[in-house]
Amino acid sequence: MPLDPDKLYALPFPEIRHAYTWRDTVVYGLGLGFGLDPTDERQLRFVDETKLVATPTMANVLAYPGFWMRDLDTGIDWVKVVHGEQAMRVHRPIPPEGDVVGRTRIVDIVDKGPGKGALVFAEREISDAATGETLATLLQTVFCRGDGGFGGSSTSPRTPHPLPDREPDLSLDMPTHPQMALVYRLSGDFNPLHSDPAVARKAGYDRPILHGLATYGVAGHALLAGLCDYAPERLTFMDGRFSSPVFPGETITVDIWREGAGQAAFRARIKARDVVVLTNGRCEFAS
């Protein structure tokens, strides 16, 4: 049955209430590799409860609606979906503990044509449960490989941010550890592709891969280090397109190009395999 865009636009996402503690914030930080250098005081702020701050990318795991493409009545062939892009706008610093509400809605659908799939754009707003203040707005692009050809618009509302045709201004090597996916999954994504070798082999990988949003978070760590002097309130926007998986234990190199006041382009790659894993990145930060 063809994908029904009217049905998707009207999809009733349940409102998600999420109370989290300092332990959740520490687990999230450890799942991105903060603290791999246990003498770096700047990193320890993200994993030590006595002086704890949350990294901005933690917004991506708050009030998470789960695998909604499968769990809700979407009509999407969820077996063939791929997380294509992720954008994050942080309106105010993420508290290291709190009670938040997540509200998700479909904001755009693009028909790439028969046999070419579709793009579904889901927006999630995270707000403080007590005050109603918006903390972050997230945009997830889902590539539905089995759902093109329903007669919808073929024009995407988003244009990939071009990377400069010059050497990066800054490149940071961000090591991951072999257990990283096993730690990161404790933040709410329990897809066995990231923990079960047998499932990974069925998907065509010789071992479990790192979560895409963990790669995104590692890139965010690099942006904090390279552009914001580890001040989380300075990183206000981040956008990127997933292009290849990372295996836990690999070193992710994040290339950064400054593009005027408070803006930069970035990509993430694995030098050892000569592959780009996150591309067309753009961020905004306070000076």
The set of catalytic residues is 189, 194
Q: Which residue has the tokens 């490149």?
A: 171
Q: In what order do the strands lie in the sheet with 16-20?
A: 16-20, 98-113, 117-128, 134-144, 81-90, 235-242, 275-285, 263-270, 251-258, 170-175
How far apart CA 67 and CA 77 sit, in angstroms, is 12
Q: Give φ, ψ of 258 to 5 degrees.
A: -70, 140
The two structure tokens encoding residue 259: 């593009």
CA distance 47 to 29: 6
The token duo for 43 is: 């990193």
Smallest Cα–Cα separation from 142: which of 76, 219, 73, 214? 76
Q: Measured in Å, how far apart are the chain's first and last C-alpha atoms?
A: 51
Q: What are the structure tokens assigned to 280, written together?
A: 């067309």
